[in-house]
Structure 1
């Protein structure tokens, strides 16, 4: 499977190149094929590009399809002119239907990505919960979660501090928001703060320590990822509390 960035680039190229190719293929049949059927073939091309890429690619394909439909398949041929009202209606409907269908196809792709991502989040929480149940050393859980946080939040660095609250760094809260002093930091708009960010570890009201998170440039994890990070930190608190009681 192509990476999303590469796949989107391919989709943009296809958005421009595919409709004229499809229309050129239909040219030998334009005398016997109705323009309505030709438009339906072009809609299939629009759906294919939108499913491969994103909304912009789908819209560009719909525009390109309408333009080349006019050029290749309507009288007068090989001119960007339409003389019949029925052909004008078909071209407009091709554009409208193509745009609508491309949006639906792109939305379906987004929902699939969200479902895959949610499954990954649940798997990470479950894996850590199992580790908490079996670990005999809290450092095992601490190190495991540190690696998870780096991947989840897009970090360049992450370390754990035991039982210290030095300074007033920005803080990742239980609700997934980030506070910095008295103000709330807009992660969706600004990304993660450039300074080290703390994620505190509690269990049953007792503070055990905190993860200090250093964001990579441009990191802007969604709310779901930040909530998973908080959940993982809480599991570390559970491990520290359970293992300390066992050793006592």
Structure 2
């Protein structure tokens, strides 16, 4: 199971279990606690799940909170039935507020992750540019890009191969897609294909080589990460072209 799927499964489990455990913990004080305060505590549990999970996990957590609020914290206890009108209204509000707040928490987490990711991408691209500006050898630029690709795309490994097109491998293209162009058949991948994937390095219209990506099995990285990978390869190509190294057209 990939890291993404494992995380999603864990988030769904937390969405089911966390509201249950919180409601169960409130049982000893439920007669001293108003329904509104109990509902607010459960909303906190929903937000906590949404902050680490997905939109689906947030929805499941909100539904779970409403169910266990009914079962443990409203009369008749330990039954899925509510007799008091105010408790019914509170349960409905708990569900609605839980859904809204959980979705806002997921959106805020994604925005934060985007900001952090953009900053890391900018640092990576600036690092390559500085190496070229400082007159470092094109080999140093290529090696820097190779290391950045491993981290950026979460690869098992990556190597650079000069001036050869041996084998017909799937390719990470400029549009961020991973394609495999074979006679009579073109395949676009949503997951990493088996084996290596090439990322070609071109500078000044000349082909200099390719990075051979060795990914972990699973979904492709986010599209933005793939665009940055293509940009890094282009910077490596520019460094090789500026140095005037031999190339293969």
Both structures adopt the same fold (TM-score exceeding 0.5) = yes
**Where does structure 1 lack aligned partners over 5 or more consecutive residues?**
none
Q: CA deviation at 1:17?
A: 1.1
Aligned-residue CA RMSD (Å): 2.7
CA offsets 1:110-156 (integer angstroms, 9 cap, x no match)? 22112211211111111111112124321111111111112222323
Equivalent in the alignment of 1:91: 91
Question: Taking structure 1 as reference, are residues 179 and 64 closer, same or farther at Cα in structure 2, changes over 3 Å only?
Answer: closer
Q: Does 1:231 align with 2:234?
A: no
1:1-248 matches, cutoff 5 A: 5=7, 8=11, 11-12=14-15, 13-21=17-25, 23-24=26-27, 26-30=29-33, 33=34, 35-181=35-181, 182-187=185-190, 191-218=191-218, 220-244=220-244
Q: How many residue pairs end up in the alignment?
A: 235
Q: Is the 8 A contact 1:125 1:232 kept in 2?
A: yes
Q: Is the 8 A contact 2:23 2:72 kept in 1?
A: no
Query: 1-side partners of 2:28 and 2:133: how far apart?
Result: 63
Q: Secondary structure at the match of 1:244?
A: coil
Query: 1-side partners of 2:229 and 2:69: how far apart?
Result: 51
Query: 1-side partners of 2:229 and 2:37: how far apart?
Result: 52
CA offsets 1:185-227 (integer angstroms, 9 cap, x no match)? 123xxx1221322211112212212122222222522211111
Q: TM-score, normalised by structure 1?
A: 0.81
Q: TM-score, normalised by structure 2?
A: 0.81
